[in-house]
Protein backbone atom coordinates (compact mmCIF):
# COMPACT_ATOMS: atom_id res chain seq x y z
CA UNK A 1 0.00 0.00 0.00
CA UNK A 2 1.40 3.43 -0.89
CA UNK A 3 0.96 5.52 2.24
CA UNK A 4 3.59 8.21 1.73
CA UNK A 5 5.00 10.36 -1.05
CA UNK A 6 7.24 13.30 -1.62
CA UNK A 7 6.10 15.87 -4.13
CA UNK A 8 8.75 18.01 -5.77
CA UNK A 9 6.96 21.24 -6.63
CA UNK A 10 9.96 22.82 -8.34
CA UNK A 11 13.48 22.11 -9.43
CA UNK A 12 15.39 25.15 -8.34
CA UNK A 13 17.26 26.38 -5.29
CA UNK A 14 18.71 29.67 -4.04
CA UNK A 15 21.72 27.95 -2.39
CA UNK A 16 24.73 26.02 -3.67
CA UNK A 17 25.52 23.63 -0.83
CA UNK A 18 28.73 21.71 -1.32
CA UNK A 19 27.23 18.34 -0.40
CA UNK A 20 23.95 18.72 -2.29
CA UNK A 21 23.57 15.50 -4.25
CA UNK A 22 21.04 17.19 -6.55
CA UNK A 23 23.59 19.89 -7.38
CA UNK A 24 26.43 17.37 -7.69
CA UNK A 25 24.47 15.14 -10.05
CA UNK A 26 23.19 18.07 -12.13
CA UNK A 27 19.53 17.41 -11.30
CA UNK A 28 18.76 21.05 -10.40
CA UNK A 29 18.46 22.57 -13.85
CA UNK A 30 15.76 25.22 -13.44
CA UNK A 31 13.17 23.43 -15.55
CA UNK A 32 9.41 23.50 -15.40
CA UNK A 33 7.93 22.34 -12.11
CA UNK A 34 4.38 21.31 -11.28
CA UNK A 35 1.79 24.03 -11.92
CA UNK A 36 -0.89 24.86 -9.34
CA UNK A 37 -3.37 22.94 -11.48
CA UNK A 38 -1.04 19.91 -11.55
CA UNK A 39 -0.74 20.06 -7.76
CA UNK A 40 -4.51 20.02 -7.33
CA UNK A 41 -4.62 16.91 -9.56
CA UNK A 42 -1.93 15.22 -7.44
CA UNK A 43 -3.77 16.01 -4.20
CA UNK A 44 -7.11 14.75 -5.53
CA UNK A 45 -5.51 11.55 -6.92
CA UNK A 46 -3.97 10.78 -3.53
CA UNK A 47 -7.27 11.41 -1.75
CA UNK A 48 -9.18 9.15 -4.18
CA UNK A 49 -6.63 6.40 -3.63
CA UNK A 50 -6.68 6.81 0.17
CA UNK A 51 -10.47 6.65 0.25
CA UNK A 52 -10.63 3.58 -2.01
CA UNK A 53 -7.91 1.81 -0.01
CA UNK A 54 -9.30 2.77 3.39
CA UNK A 55 -6.04 4.48 4.38
CA UNK A 56 -6.47 6.46 7.63
CA UNK A 57 -3.39 8.64 6.97
CA UNK A 58 -1.24 9.63 4.02
CA UNK A 59 2.07 11.33 4.70
CA UNK A 60 2.92 13.89 2.02
CA UNK A 61 6.25 15.69 2.08
CA UNK A 62 6.50 18.88 0.05
CA UNK A 63 10.16 18.25 -0.49
CA UNK A 64 12.10 17.42 -3.58
CA UNK A 65 14.92 18.57 -5.79
CA UNK A 66 14.74 22.23 -4.83
CA UNK A 67 13.79 24.80 -2.22
CA UNK A 68 9.96 24.78 -1.92
CA UNK A 69 9.72 28.34 -0.52
CA UNK A 70 10.85 29.64 -3.93
CA UNK A 71 7.38 28.60 -5.14
CA UNK A 72 5.32 29.38 -2.09
CA UNK A 73 2.13 29.78 -4.12
CA UNK A 74 2.29 26.05 -4.84
CA UNK A 75 2.59 25.15 -1.15
CA UNK A 76 -0.40 27.38 -0.63
CA UNK A 77 -2.30 25.57 -3.40
CA UNK A 78 -1.53 22.10 -2.01
CA UNK A 79 -2.59 22.90 1.54
CA UNK A 80 -5.68 24.85 0.51
CA UNK A 81 -6.74 22.06 -1.85
CA UNK A 82 -6.43 19.61 1.06
CA UNK A 83 -8.44 21.92 3.31
CA UNK A 84 -11.24 21.99 0.71
CA UNK A 85 -11.35 18.27 -0.12
CA UNK A 86 -9.74 16.31 2.73
CA UNK A 87 -12.68 16.33 5.12
CA UNK A 88 -11.42 13.25 6.97
CA UNK A 89 -8.00 14.85 7.55
CA UNK A 90 -6.11 12.00 5.93
CA UNK A 91 -3.16 14.15 4.86
CA UNK A 92 -0.24 14.71 7.21
CA UNK A 93 1.92 17.25 5.37
CA UNK A 94 5.47 18.26 6.06
CA UNK A 95 7.59 20.85 4.30
CA UNK A 96 11.37 21.04 4.57
CA UNK A 97 12.98 24.42 3.93
CA UNK A 98 16.52 25.79 4.08
CA UNK A 99 14.93 28.63 6.09
CA UNK A 100 16.41 31.51 4.11
CA UNK A 101 13.12 32.68 2.53
CA UNK A 102 10.90 32.55 5.60
CA UNK A 103 8.87 35.64 6.48
CA UNK A 104 6.01 36.50 8.86
CA UNK A 105 3.30 36.16 6.23
CA UNK A 106 4.38 32.67 5.21
CA UNK A 107 4.72 31.62 8.84
CA UNK A 108 1.22 32.89 9.61
CA UNK A 109 -0.07 30.54 6.91
CA UNK A 110 1.77 27.58 8.46
CA UNK A 111 0.55 28.55 11.91
CA UNK A 112 -3.03 28.64 10.67
CA UNK A 113 -2.64 25.10 9.27
CA UNK A 114 -0.39 23.71 12.01
CA UNK A 115 -2.64 20.67 12.59
CA UNK A 116 -2.17 19.49 9.00
CA UNK A 117 1.36 20.58 8.19
CA UNK A 118 4.72 20.58 9.93
CA UNK A 119 7.44 22.98 8.84
CA UNK A 120 10.95 21.54 9.21
CA UNK A 121 14.20 23.49 8.90
CA UNK A 122 17.41 22.04 7.48
CA UNK A 123 20.16 22.81 9.97
CA UNK A 124 23.28 20.70 10.49
CA UNK A 125 24.48 22.26 13.75
CA UNK A 126 26.62 25.23 14.79
CA UNK A 127 27.86 27.72 12.19
CA UNK A 128 31.17 26.10 11.26
CA UNK A 129 29.66 22.64 10.97
CA UNK A 130 26.52 23.76 9.12
CA UNK A 131 28.49 25.78 6.59
CA UNK A 132 31.01 22.96 6.03
CA UNK A 133 28.61 21.02 3.80
CA UNK A 134 25.63 23.35 3.53
CA UNK A 135 25.45 27.16 3.38
CA UNK A 136 23.76 30.27 4.78
CA UNK A 137 23.83 29.40 8.50
CA UNK A 138 22.98 32.95 9.59
CA UNK A 139 19.99 33.25 7.24
CA UNK A 140 18.71 29.82 8.26
CA UNK A 141 18.94 30.71 11.94
CA UNK A 142 17.16 34.03 11.28
CA UNK A 143 14.32 32.07 9.68
CA UNK A 144 14.16 29.76 12.68
CA UNK A 145 14.02 32.74 15.02
CA UNK A 146 11.02 34.13 13.12
CA UNK A 147 9.36 30.71 13.38
CA UNK A 148 9.92 30.65 17.14
CA UNK A 149 8.35 34.09 17.50
CA UNK A 150 5.27 32.98 15.58
CA UNK A 151 4.84 29.46 17.00
CA UNK A 152 6.24 30.07 20.52
CA UNK A 153 8.17 26.83 20.23
CA UNK A 154 11.21 25.34 18.49
CA UNK A 155 10.69 23.85 15.02
CA UNK A 156 11.55 20.32 13.94
CA UNK A 157 15.10 20.25 12.58
CA UNK A 158 16.40 18.12 9.72
CA UNK A 159 20.11 17.41 10.20
CA UNK A 160 22.12 15.68 7.50
CA UNK A 161 24.74 13.43 9.07
CA UNK A 162 28.11 13.50 7.32
CA UNK A 163 31.72 12.74 8.28
CA UNK A 164 32.06 16.08 10.08
CA UNK A 165 28.97 15.32 12.20
CA UNK A 166 30.54 12.04 13.28
CA UNK A 167 33.90 13.65 14.09
CA UNK A 168 32.22 16.38 16.13
CA UNK A 169 29.22 14.39 17.39
CA UNK A 170 29.64 15.37 21.03
CA UNK A 171 29.96 19.07 20.19
CA UNK A 172 27.08 19.14 17.72
CA UNK A 173 24.65 17.28 19.97
CA UNK A 174 25.58 19.51 22.92
CA UNK A 175 24.97 22.51 20.68
CA UNK A 176 21.52 21.28 19.63
CA UNK A 177 20.67 20.59 23.27
CA UNK A 178 21.96 23.99 24.39
CA UNK A 179 19.87 25.71 21.73
CA UNK A 180 16.79 23.85 22.96
CA UNK A 181 16.17 21.84 19.78
CA UNK A 182 14.50 18.68 20.96
CA UNK A 183 12.96 17.28 17.79
CA UNK A 184 15.54 16.42 15.15
CA UNK A 185 15.24 14.20 12.09
CA UNK A 186 18.69 12.87 11.24
CA UNK A 187 19.32 11.76 7.68
CA UNK A 188 22.30 10.02 6.17
CA UNK A 189 24.33 11.92 3.57
CA UNK A 190 24.24 9.93 0.32
CA UNK A 191 25.69 10.11 -3.17
CA UNK A 192 28.69 12.24 -2.16
CA UNK A 193 32.19 10.83 -2.70
CA UNK A 194 34.34 13.39 -0.85
CA UNK A 195 36.26 11.59 1.93
CA UNK A 196 35.72 14.44 4.40
CA UNK A 197 31.93 14.16 4.01
CA UNK A 198 30.82 10.66 3.04
CA UNK A 199 29.86 8.07 5.64
CA UNK A 200 28.78 4.45 5.56
CA UNK A 201 25.31 3.27 6.49
CA UNK A 202 26.82 1.38 9.44
CA UNK A 203 28.37 4.61 10.74
CA UNK A 204 25.03 6.35 10.40
CA UNK A 205 23.29 3.65 12.44
CA UNK A 206 26.05 3.88 15.08
CA UNK A 207 25.42 7.61 15.26
CA UNK A 208 21.68 7.05 15.79
CA UNK A 209 22.46 4.64 18.63
CA UNK A 210 24.75 7.29 20.14
CA UNK A 211 21.95 9.89 19.98
CA UNK A 212 19.44 7.45 21.47
CA UNK A 213 21.87 6.76 24.32
CA UNK A 214 21.91 10.42 25.33
CA UNK A 215 18.12 10.44 25.76
CA UNK A 216 17.86 14.20 25.20
CA UNK A 217 16.60 14.40 21.64
CA UNK A 218 13.36 13.07 20.19
CA UNK A 219 14.19 11.77 16.75
CA UNK A 220 12.01 10.31 14.04
CA UNK A 221 13.96 7.08 13.80
CA UNK A 222 12.43 4.59 16.19
CA UNK A 223 14.42 1.45 15.59
CA UNK A 224 12.14 -0.70 17.72
CA UNK A 225 9.23 -0.08 15.34
CA UNK A 226 9.45 -1.71 11.91
CA UNK A 227 8.63 1.01 9.41
CA UNK A 228 9.03 1.19 5.62
CA UNK A 229 10.06 4.63 4.48
CA UNK A 230 13.71 5.26 3.64
CA UNK A 231 16.94 3.85 5.03
CA UNK A 232 18.57 7.28 4.98
CA UNK A 233 16.17 8.17 7.82
CA UNK A 234 17.14 5.04 9.73
CA UNK A 235 14.06 3.13 8.61
CA UNK A 236 13.50 0.34 6.10
CA UNK A 237 13.46 0.90 2.33
CA UNK A 238 9.92 1.61 1.13
CA UNK A 239 10.67 1.30 -2.61
CA UNK A 240 8.18 -1.09 -4.19
CA UNK A 241 6.11 -1.05 -1.00
CA UNK A 242 5.05 2.30 0.48
CA UNK A 243 6.87 5.21 -1.21
CA UNK A 244 6.69 7.27 -4.36
CA UNK A 245 8.34 10.49 -5.56
CA UNK A 246 6.12 12.79 -7.63
CA UNK A 247 7.58 15.35 -10.03
CA UNK A 248 6.48 17.20 -13.16
CA UNK A 249 8.61 14.76 -15.15
CA UNK A 250 6.79 11.75 -13.72
CA UNK A 251 6.43 9.47 -10.69
CA UNK A 252 9.57 7.61 -9.54
CA UNK A 253 10.18 5.02 -6.77
CA UNK A 254 12.14 7.57 -4.65
CA UNK A 255 14.09 10.78 -5.19
CA UNK A 256 17.31 8.98 -6.10
CA UNK A 257 15.63 7.52 -9.21
CA UNK A 258 14.62 10.94 -10.50
CA UNK A 259 15.16 11.11 -14.28
CA UNK A 260 16.28 7.49 -14.50
CA UNK A 261 13.77 6.77 -17.22
CA UNK A 262 13.90 2.98 -16.92
CA UNK A 263 12.55 3.39 -13.35
CA UNK A 264 9.91 6.01 -14.14
CA UNK A 265 6.58 4.56 -13.02
CA UNK A 266 4.10 6.88 -14.75
CA UNK A 267 3.10 10.44 -15.59
CA UNK A 268 2.61 12.66 -12.53
CA UNK A 269 -1.18 12.69 -12.96
CA UNK A 270 -1.73 8.93 -13.15
CA UNK A 271 -4.24 7.40 -10.73
CA UNK A 272 -2.41 5.93 -7.75
CA UNK A 273 -4.03 2.50 -7.94
CA UNK A 274 -2.56 2.18 -11.46
CA UNK A 275 0.80 3.44 -10.17
CA UNK A 276 0.68 0.90 -7.35
CA UNK A 277 -0.14 -1.97 -9.71
CA UNK A 278 2.75 -1.00 -12.03
CA UNK A 279 5.08 -0.57 -9.06
CA UNK A 280 4.29 -4.07 -7.79
CA UNK A 281 4.81 -5.54 -11.25
CA UNK A 282 8.12 -3.84 -11.91
CA UNK A 283 9.85 -3.59 -8.51
CA UNK A 284 10.61 -6.39 -6.08
CA UNK A 285 11.28 -4.84 -2.67
CA UNK A 286 14.72 -5.45 -1.17
CA UNK A 287 15.30 -7.28 2.10
CA UNK A 288 14.92 -5.38 5.36
CA UNK A 289 18.04 -3.30 5.98
CA UNK A 290 18.95 -2.96 2.28
CA UNK A 291 18.53 0.04 -0.02
CA UNK A 292 16.97 -0.70 -3.42
CA UNK A 293 19.04 1.98 -5.13
CA UNK A 294 22.32 0.75 -3.67
CA UNK A 295 21.54 -2.85 -4.55
CA UNK A 296 20.25 -2.40 -8.09
CA UNK A 297 21.79 0.83 -9.38
CA UNK A 298 25.05 1.10 -7.48
CA UNK A 299 25.29 -2.72 -7.26
CA UNK A 300 26.62 -2.42 -3.75
CA UNK A 301 24.43 -5.13 -2.27
CA UNK A 302 23.93 -3.32 1.04
S1 LIG B 1 19.40 23.99 0.20
FE2 LIG B 1 19.03 21.80 -0.22
S3 LIG B 1 18.43 21.70 -2.42
FE4 LIG B 1 19.38 23.72 -2.05
S5 LIG B 1 21.55 23.43 -2.65
FE6 LIG B 1 21.37 23.13 -0.40
S7 LIG B 1 21.08 20.88 -0.13
FE8 LIG B 1 20.66 21.39 -2.31
S1 LIG C 1 16.06 3.10 -2.49
FE2 LIG C 1 17.43 3.77 -0.85
S3 LIG C 1 17.25 6.00 -0.91
FE4 LIG C 1 15.43 5.17 -1.97
S5 LIG C 1 13.81 4.92 -0.40
FE6 LIG C 1 14.94 2.99 -0.52
S7 LIG C 1 16.49 3.21 1.11
FE8 LIG C 1 15.76 5.25 0.63
pLDDT at 301: 59
* 256 Cβ contact list (under 8 Å, min separation 6): 190, 191, 293, 297
pLDDT at 28: 61
Q: Which residue, judged by its Cα, is nearest atom 8 of ligand 2?
A: 230
Domain spans in the chain, listed from the N-terminal domain onward: 4-296
Atom of ligand 2 nearest to the CA of 230: 8
| CA 231–ligand 2 middle distance (angstroms) | 6
Q: Which residue, judged by its Cα, is nearest atom 7 of ligand 1?
A: 20
pLDDT at 162: 98
| CA 291–ligand 2 middle distance (angstroms) | 5
Look over the chain and give the mean of its residue pLDDT values, rounded to a whole number.
93
**CA distances from residue 271 to 30, 44, 58, 154, 265 in whole angstroms, order as listed:** 27, 9, 15, 38, 11
pLDDT at 266: 97
Structure confidence by residue, pLDDT tens digits, 21-61: 777 666 666 677 899 999 999 999 999 999 999 999 999 99
pLDDT band at residue 302, thresholds of 50, 70 and 90?
low
| CA 273–ligand 2 middle distance (angstroms) | 21
Helices 36-53 and 72-85 cross at an angle (nearest 10°) of 40
219 vs 100, residue with greater confidence: 100
| CA 47–ligand 1 middle distance (angstroms) | 30
Do residues 171 and 53 touch, judged by C-beta distance below 8 A? no
* 273 Cβ contact list (under 8 Å, min separation 6): 49, 52, 53
pLDDT at 300: 73
Structure confidence by residue, pLDDT tens digits, 214-253: 988 887 665 567 889 999 988 899 999 999 999 999 999 9
What 3 state SS string does the chain have?
CCCEEEECCCCCCCCCCCCCHHHHCCCCCCCCCCCHHHHHHHHHHHHHHHHHHCCCCEEEEECCCCCHHHHHHHHHHHHHHHHHHCCCCCEEEEEEECCCCCCHHHHHHHHHCCCCEEEEEECCCCHHHHHHHCCCHHHHHHHHHHHHHHHCCCCEEEEEECHHHHHCHHHHHHHHHHHCCCEEEEEECCCCCCCCCCCCHHHHHHHHHHHHHHCCCEECCCCCCCCEECHHHCCEECCCCCEEEEECCEEECCHHHCCCHHHCCECCCCCHHHHHHHHHHHCCCCCCCCCHHHHHCCCCCC
Which ligand approaches the C-alpha of residue 124 most closely?
1
Q: Which residue, judged by its Cα, is nearest atom 8 of ligand 1?
A: 20
Which ligand approaches the C-alpha of residue 66 most closely?
1
CATH numeric code, 4-296: 3.20.20.70
Q: List pocket residues of ligand 1, CB cut-off 6 Å.
A: 13, 15-17, 20, 22-23, 66-67, 98, 134
Q: Which residue, judged by its Cα, is nearest atom 5 of ligand 2?
A: 230
pLDDT band at residue 86, thresholds of 50, 70 and 90?
confident
Q: List pocket residues of ligand 2, CB cut-off 6 Å.
A: 230-232, 237-239, 243, 254, 256, 291-293
pLDDT at 21: 76
pTM over 0.85, yes/no: yes
Amino acid sequence: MIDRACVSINNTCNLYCRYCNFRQTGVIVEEEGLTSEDIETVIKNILDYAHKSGLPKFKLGIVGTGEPFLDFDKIYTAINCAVRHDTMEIFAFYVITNGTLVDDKKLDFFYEHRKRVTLNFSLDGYEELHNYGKAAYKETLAGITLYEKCFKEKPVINCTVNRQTLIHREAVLSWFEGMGFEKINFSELIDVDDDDLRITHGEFLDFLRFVAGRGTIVFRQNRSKKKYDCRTYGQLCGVGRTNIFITKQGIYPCCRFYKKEEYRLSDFDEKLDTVEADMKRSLTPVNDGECYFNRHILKEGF
